[in-house]
Structure 1
Amino acid sequence: MPFNYPDVGASTGEFPEGYEHHRHRIRLGRGHDTFNRAKDALEHWRQFDVGWAKAIPSDTSITIGSTVAIRVRIFGIWALAFDRIVDVHSESDRDQQRFGFSVGTLMDHPEQGEEQFSIEIDGDGQVDYEVAAFFRPNTFAAKIAWPYLHRRFNQFRDQSAEAMRRQVDSVELSQ
């Protein structure tokens, strides 16, 4: 399936005009163990473990070109939308490490745009998670339901941060 928007790859820089933008960033903790647990959670799509959304399969490889199904419950029914990884970044230097990836929406997705998931550890050992997106409705039905869908998709981004915090904390507690 092809992408359903013209700005493929734009999540790696300045978000393009003509879309809504949303960012949510939280502190997950401190240290390289926390960073590694968060990286493992991202690599297994745990940021989607919010109760009403799930990435299928959860072992989809984090490589450019991999396609994943996103199952969501909207208006009381389960639906599938498909995303493809458009960017993977892994950077490491003396003061900072980053890991993350961006997914872009495919043809029948109710949104058009990209979503980026990333973790970062700074020189002080602080580990942050950020989910950021540029998006707009894709279909006529999505435009009609946009006030609800817009709120729901932004709710996902906020809940995604809490899902990552739970993943990091639960691994910490079990050790």
Structure 2
Amino acid sequence: MVFLFWTRPSLQDQKACIDKSGPFNYDFKHHGLSSDLFSSIQQNQDLSKDGFFINHARILLGSGQNTYEKGKTAIQTWKHFGLKWAFVDPKTKIEKGTKFCVCLKEILPWVVLPLQVAYVRDNSRVAHVSDNSRESKLKASFGFGSGTLQGHLLAGEERFSIEWDENNQVWYEILSFSKPAHFLSFIGYPYVLLSQKYFAHQSMQSVRKHVTAQQPKM
């Protein structure tokens, strides 16, 4: 089951895909794992044994509470998917259990990929974080992870998060683990991996543009 459209998918098209999709298409033992630190996921033997590929990208957005709040708002309003070739309905609620679609423009058709919000993390309390050589105390963090549903070309999970650390720096991070769930993605997996990296780059530029465009004038 693959959801393809020759024109930009409407909200009705997306709803129809969600209605036809099934539950999560990856093993229950991996649900929520994308909320872990990058170093922990790298060392997770079960993910490696089960054939998952890890994709990770991180960018400095700036510093201070205003930058953090703008970055958080960017994720909450799906600015990280505000691309010409990839989008999510910006009115989609970021709440656990919400089903939604990522729409991607390929060479000819649009591909619609069904997902479900697996968890949401909104932490304004100071928390100690240790990630190999990186140790900091987060002033605040916000993020969510979405899992692939049956009908998605991949199987796995992806997290988008904003962190404000003790050095007053604000970071945007994308972390995912995935593997092919359809013969099309299996035979074209090298292209899929390149697309993931390209998306991460584009997404980070989109969030950075949103944050810097709204910085108050000094």
Number of matched pairs? 174
Structure 1 counterpart of 2:61: 28
Say if 2:103 and 2:113, in contact at 8 Å, map to a contact too: yes
Give 1:170 deviation, angstroms: 1.7
- TM-score of the pair, normalised by structure 2: 0.75
Contact 2:76–2:94 under 8 Å retained in 1 = yes
Which residue of the other structure, out of 167, 178, 201, is the alignment partner of 1:124? Answer: 167
Q: Does 1:2 align with 2:20?
A: no
Indicate whether 1:97 and 2:162 are aligned: no
| Residue ranges of structure 2 left out of the alignment (5+ in a row) | 1-21, 42-46, 127-136
Q: Secondary structure at the match of 2:96?
A: coil
Tell me what 2:149 maps to. Answer: 106
Residue identity matched to 1:35: Y
Kindly report structure 1 stretches of 4+ aligned residues shifted beyond 6 Å. Answer: none
The CA deviation at 1:173 is 6.7
Q: Secondary structure at the match of 1:172?
A: coil
CA distance in structure 1 between the aligned counterparts of 2:197 and 2:109, rounded to whole angstroms: 19
Amino acid across the alignment from 1:41: A
Say if 1:119 and 1:128, in contact at 8 Å, map to a contact too: yes
Structure 2 equivalent of residue 11 of structure 1:
34
Q: 2:103 maps to what in 1?
A: 71
Instruction: Give the letter aligned to residue 80 of structure 2.
Output: Q
Instruction: Show the counterpart of 1:51.
Output: 84
How far did residue 125 of structure 1 move? 1.4
Conserved 8 A contact 2:100-2:116:
yes
Q: Aligned partners of 1:124 and 1:146: how far apart in 2?
A: 39
Q: Normalized per residue, which structure has more strand?
A: 1
Q: Aligned partners of 1:149, 1:12: CA distance in 2, in Å?
A: 22
Q: What one-letter code is carried by the residue in structure 1 that aligns with 2:56? A: R
Identity of aligned residues (%): 32
**CA separation in 1, counterparts of 2:211 and 2:100?**
23
Paired position in structure 1 for 2:4: none
Q: Does structure 2 conserve the Cα–Cα contact (< 8 Å) formed by 1:91 and 1:98?
A: yes
